[in-house]
Structure 1
Amino acid sequence: MSLWNVTNAPDYQDDEGTYTAQAISTTQGSLAPYTYWYDHPPLGWIQLGALAWIQRLFGFDSGTEIGNMRYVMSIFFVVNSVLIFLIARRLRIRMAFSLLAVALGCLSPLSLVLGRQVFLDNIGTPWLLLAFYLALSPRLSLWLHVGAGLCFAVAVLSKETLAIFGPALLIALLHRSQWRTRAFSLVGFLTVGALTLSFYPLVALLRGELLAGAGHVSLQDALVYQFFSRSGSGNLWEQGSGRAQLVDGWMYYDKYLIVAGLVAAVIALFRQRSRWLSAGIALFVLPVVLGTGYLPTMYVIAAIPLLVLAIAMAADILWSAARRVGPSGSVLRRTVSGLTAASMVGGLLVMALPQWFEQDATLLASQNNSDWYLALEWTKTNVPRSETVLTPYSMWQDLRSSGWNGPWQVIALEKMDLDSAVAVHHPHGWQEVQWVIEGPTVKPNIKFLNLTNAGLTLDHSRIVQSFGAWHIRKVITSQEAPPVPAHDGVQP
């Protein structure tokens, strides 16, 4: 499922282009094609770059860099599914319900849409699940618990927002009665996890970029931006806020999985061995409901495995309760068991499956990126390699690998304003750019990020070719005809 039509739907996103470019840079000896800024730890795209050879080994080639990275993401999707099953069995969930958890994780439109995209959360989530799997081992082995700490640290270094599930992992580790080496396991888990996490600030320290200072980026500046300066998503209860719209988007793709998972998290409290699931889901929900800071679209990715496991556990609990009603073999027990089974199957067939079938069928047959491909091919065919192009990150790596010389010959949109190196390579700013590739995200990003230089480039350009929402624009110098303002959207 994760490979079917993967390069055609959903739309290529700028974040995907960013991580694709950074992954390819790691194979060439650098952390990023531009100045590395500490917005995320680099381990996520380092893994992506290290696995890029696998899609070539199996003969998958979309003809584009970003498309090929989506093939690589299918590895993490499959590993996620395997770990969901293994954790379910480790929780002693019945086989049928364990397989149900895998099916929910694979077939949910929310999982399929987000799980096939080149997002760091998709890379970190398998490591998080592996940490839970090791922590739940019945062997109570010190080395398994040390491994859980290591895997959790790798998950956080792949995507830092996964740190929110740390308390749930501790509950999973310590939920059993005291055992002889419990203190050693806890110390080993915390120590190895902390030491592994310390590599991130250590890298910044060795690069002279731990603390803020003149003339360089720093981890300190990045943390200040993420926690204090970055524009928030508003309040969930505020109509039209970014947070409310984002949650509405999640619900649009799969309200049944989300609602059923939240209800199941309450039922999972009735078994001690599954209370960590309730804790993990609560830790996911609290920032969504109570927070006002920035909430990324992909934040829900790591919660999907916990939601499907909670649903499987709740089904197992309800089935066990039904099987205990009345004497063994009695009509009452058979009736209650039959009604319970019919309710589970009926709920799935009547509510979830019709929506899933429609949305999955659309996803697996759509050609969302056809205009993107046409714009890319037109640009590669018609724009001279000696001229400078400004483009969204979703197309940046594919243009750069098509003959343009270096990252400042074909420039990612945000870097025109946010990377100080632009003043070195293009001291006259927008006037040194000849072409602009305008995708659906260009104008919103210029407005949201206040990209003055990129905005001027767009304003001093006219459309020469369009493919749906994608426009190739020629920058007009002062010696040429007056420019067509970018906001009018009129084909000259």
Structure 2
Amino acid sequence: MSVLQAAPEAAAPAAPARPPFWRTRGAEVLLVATLLIVSGLLHAWNMLGYPYFENDEATYLSRGWAFITEGQLDVATYRYDHAPLGWMAIGSWLGLTGGGAMFGGMLEAGRVLMLLVHLVSTVLVYLVAKRLAGGRMTAGVLAVLVFAMSPVGIYFQRRVLLDNLMVLGVLLALLLLLRRPLTLGATVASGLAFGVAVLVKLNAIFFGVGFAVLLWVGAVGAQRKHAVLQWFASAGGTVLLFFVYALLNEELFPAPVDADGEPAHVSLVDTFELQLGRGDFAWPWQPESSFMEAVGSWVGKDSLTLTLGAAATVGLLLVLAARRFRDPSAWAVLALVGGYVAFLARGGIVIDLYVAPLIPFLAIAVGLFAARITDRVPDDWRRPAVGTVLAAALVAGYVLTSDRLYLTKDETSNQDAALAWIEQEVPTDALIAADNYVYPELVQEESYTGAMYFFHAEYDPELRDTYADDWREIDYLVLTHEVVEQISQGTVPRMAELLEHSTLAASFMDGSSAFVDLDAGISTNGDWVQVWQTKSRNQIVLQDAWQRFRDDWIVSYGQVLEDDAVSTTSLDQVLAMEQALAEGDEAAFRGVWQWTTDHMRHREDDALTSWQWLTDEDGEGELGSSDTVCSADQRFIGLLLEADSTWGAPDLRSEAARMADDWWERCTFTLDGLRLVDSSADGSVDDQLINPSYFDPTLYRTFATQLPGHDWDRLIDDGYAFLARVLDERGTIPNWIVLTQEGDLAAVGDLVDGEGDVMGEDTLRLVPTLLREEIAGEPRARKLLDGLVPQVVGYAADAPGLPSSVALALVAQVRDIGADAHEIYLARIASQVDPETGTWDGTLADFAWTYSWHRFQERVPPALAVPIS
């Protein structure tokens, strides 16, 4: 062949085979976009309605707002309970969105931020799972499905929690460390990201074991030592900034304490000790441990995710063993999950939300384990087919086992309604202790300068100064699930006192799924709110007095028996029932009445009560006298009627009606043209013995409307006429008076013990009755008091004591006698109150007098009531 002859053309190289669509970059982008849409929809749908706005959410939002608007790390004293970077980020978001302006409120703005965090975390979960699985998309898809569809994940990922921001930082740090080949820049960046995650929430540090494993297996040769040192230096240096800040503020080490045992300032070390000491230690496998209780709660919310995560973790352990412990990815995931589980199972307190950071890593474990399974399937169309079947099965599992409340349930409308009620009904300068969910709107969006986070109100010295360290100065308590939890744990004793001495002002529980038992300190969900208004000082004293009376002097199931006494009287029983009714204690009221019925109502001719029961030192008793005290029985009737009006008790109303008929028949009489109240149902032999203090026109007016079968108006008119005659003829109203059959007034002489013919304690018992009548506009009461008041003033000067002091103080409230009612109260009545117990000591008789003064304050117009300290 000639050298000029052309050589044959070489064969053109064959074009590379086109990969199937499911392995192309475009298919993966489409897949990830689909996963993002699904994940975003599941998170966003109803995210403002479920779950309820939790205390911690508002805490971080309010701190974030304080940071960007005031440069403060907390709305009150920063106590180092968390590192501040998380709410700094939240505050930056609020700054960008105008606080609550863009989304309707700060809480809503915070949940929108959590949606964005969730979407970014979704991408990170996919990428981390895929890289750990050696590029298997199956791992990423399944991990994202678990992460996105987990009910417990959705429950906590919607909330404005530091845990969600912390997880974002940990996932980013993990992704950077999975770069191959691992570079110095990626190592340092990963360490910085992990350090930031720790400064968002310190719990992130428990994922550090997983990072140590990845560093060891991800670097080779001499690079390993440098990678480990660089990562820990960048991560540790970032975290160290927190401690440097505390040191520069002289708040790192424990603070000296003052004479009262209070620390001079906050301290990071003190806070750490407090946080580490929360809860009682218990081994994690013990049923009563906080860990087991939390697991029970998590399983109740989402058993599938926890089961899949646990199974995948065990599966990876088996895979690791089968591969002779040469699977770095399995090692890393096991270390990540195991490190955090070790934190949960440490034996201390485990809060429900602590599970949130674990969910993405359980999801990654599921994805990696599934990838290890599909690795055994031939690498053709069958592998993606198996992955598709696994994904479909996973979706079906969640659809079939989840209740999907997160898509439909409304848990925030009660909270919104409570806020609206507060803004409409509560003054802006009121002192309000509240669950923090109300704080951003009331304080930072509105102008409620006295609203305080209840935990800060309990412990922050500056806030305690605002209410003079006296919980009685706080006007309202906004009660929620979180407040009930803290009260039941005993961490906020002032708030417990506040709740115990408050009345329910408004309740918002429509559609709530919670079981709430405040007496037992139980609340099972937070989709409800109540607003409690603190009682007045006087009401608080009366409440504490009743508790003392009930605990010390009510024995058996309803007998009033003073210490070392042998006698129980019908008037003692009346006093107990009056207090029980005023304090809303129906059980005690019925108990006292039942004991009275069982022991003191055995008269043959009527349903009235005998006046005395005697009890010996062995507790055995007998009727001391079958005679009656008509004033006690008329008060029994009134209390039974009021109990029916209060509690809806027709059985008690029937008893009242039956007693009223007998009382009218046996305790009233007609003489000299007057219908009057007798001293006893058994009457006098010839003449009528009358105690003027038994006359109670206010009570008879109640009877006239509720028991119209008798001429109560005549009893009122004739009683006033009789008292006017007594005052005119005798110059005073004595303790007792005799009305003879001839219609004359006569001395009682020896008919009663003591000084029956002069003004004394019995007469003084008439004074509050006449004062109430005068306030109501009764001119006959005013005329009687014109004659009696100078005598009361003189009696108080000549015979100082609790009865005369109470009568004098009451008169000074209503009339100008040249003495100040408040000064009399302070000098003669308040001195009887024990500051430790908040009630008064002394005998049962003294108790009755002091109680009468305080009860009078509740029965007069507020303008006349005496303010008490």
Distance 1:253 1:50 in 2: 33
The 5 A counterparts of 1:228-307 are 229-232=277-280, 234-268=282-316, 269=320, 270=323, 271-289=327-345, 291-307=346-362
Deviations 1:311-350 (A, max 9, x none): 11111111111338xxx99xxxx7xx79966973575355
Q: 1:87 aligns with which of 103, 106, 128?
A: 128
Change over 3 Å in CA distance of 1:218–1:323 after alignment to 2: same
Distance 1:287 1:319 in 2: 32
* Cα pair 1:135 1:173 within 8 Å, conserved: yes
* Shift of residue 36, structure 1, vs aligned partner: 0.5
Q: 2:272 aligns with which of 213, 223, 228?
A: 223
* Shift of residue 281, structure 1, vs aligned partner: 1.2
Q: Is residue 46 from structure 1 mapped to residue 88 from structure 2 by the alignment? A: yes
Aligned to 1:22: 63
* Shift of residue 397, structure 1, vs aligned partner: 2.1
Aligned to 2:250: 208
* Shift of residue 10, structure 1, vs aligned partner: 0.5
Change over 3 Å in CA distance of 1:97–1:258 after alignment to 2: same
Distance 1:34 1:428 in 2: 16
Q: 1:401 aligns with which of 426, 440, 444?
A: 444
Change over 3 Å in CA distance of 1:190–1:440 after alignment to 2: closer
The 5 A counterparts of 1:105-124 are 105-124=147-166
Aligned to 1:473: 532
Gaps of 5+ in 2: 1-41, 257-263, 510-527, 544-581, 587-645, 648-869
* Cα pair 2:436 2:454 within 8 Å, conserved: yes
* Shift of residue 160, structure 1, vs aligned partner: 0.5
The 5 A counterparts of 1:153-192 are 153-176=195-218, 178-192=220-234
* Shift of residue 478, structure 1, vs aligned partner: 2.1
* Equivalent AA in structure 2 for residue 244 of structure 1: M
* Shift of residue 402, structure 1, vs aligned partner: 4.9
Q: 2:401 aligns with which of 355, 359, 362?
A: 355
Q: Is residue 3 from structure 1 mapped to residue 44 from structure 2 by the alignment? A: yes
* Equivalent AA in structure 1 for residue 352 of structure 2: T
TM value normalised by structure 1: 0.88
Deviations 1:141-162 (A, max 9, x none): 1111011111111111111011
The 5 A counterparts of 1:431-470 are 431-468=472-509, 469-470=528-529
Aligned to 1:380: 423
Distance 2:537 2:274 in 1: 37
Q: Say which is worse superposed, 262-271 or 114-123, in terms of deviation.
A: 262-271
Change over 3 Å in CA distance of 1:71–1:464 after alignment to 2: same
* Equivalent AA in structure 1 for residue 497 of structure 2: L
Aligned to 1:366: 409
Gaps of 5+ in 1: none
Distance 2:583 2:377 in 1: 68
* Equivalent AA in structure 2 for residue 312 of structure 1: G
* Shift of residue 126, structure 1, vs aligned partner: 0.8
Change over 3 Å in CA distance of 1:64–1:343 after alignment to 2: closer
Aligned to 1:315: 370
Change over 3 Å in CA distance of 1:57–1:426 after alignment to 2: closer
DSSP-derived class of the 1:181 partner: helix
* Shift of residue 370, structure 1, vs aligned partner: 1.1
DSSP-derived class of the 2:349 partner: coil
More relative contact order, 1 or 2 (CA 8 Å, 6+ apart): 1
Distance 1:99 1:485 in 2: 62
* Cα pair 1:459 1:486 within 8 Å, conserved: no
Q: Is residue 100 from structure 1 mapped to residue 148 from structure 2 by the alignment? A: no
Q: Say which is worse superposed, 310-319 or 426-435, in terms of deviation.
A: 426-435
Seq. identity, %: 24
Distance 1:140 1:250 in 2: 37
Distance 1:288 1:485 in 2: 45
DSSP-derived class of the 2:461 partner: coil
Change over 3 Å in CA distance of 1:466–1:275 after alignment to 2: same
Change over 3 Å in CA distance of 1:354–1:125 after alignment to 2: same
Change over 3 Å in CA distance of 1:427–1:486 after alignment to 2: farther
Aligned to 1:66: 107
Distance 1:487 1:44 in 2: 48
Give aligned pairs, total: 473
* Shift of residue 470, structure 1, vs aligned partner: 1.9
* Shift of residue 300, structure 1, vs aligned partner: 1.8
CA RMSD for the aligned pairs? Answer: 2.8
Q: Which has more radius of gyration?
A: 2
* Shift of residue 374, structure 1, vs aligned partner: 0.7
DSSP-derived class of the 2:302 partner: helix
* Shift of residue 41, structure 1, vs aligned partner: 0.6
Q: Is residue 139 from structure 1 mapped to residue 181 from structure 2 by the alignment? A: yes
* Equivalent AA in structure 1 for residue 112 of structure 2: Y
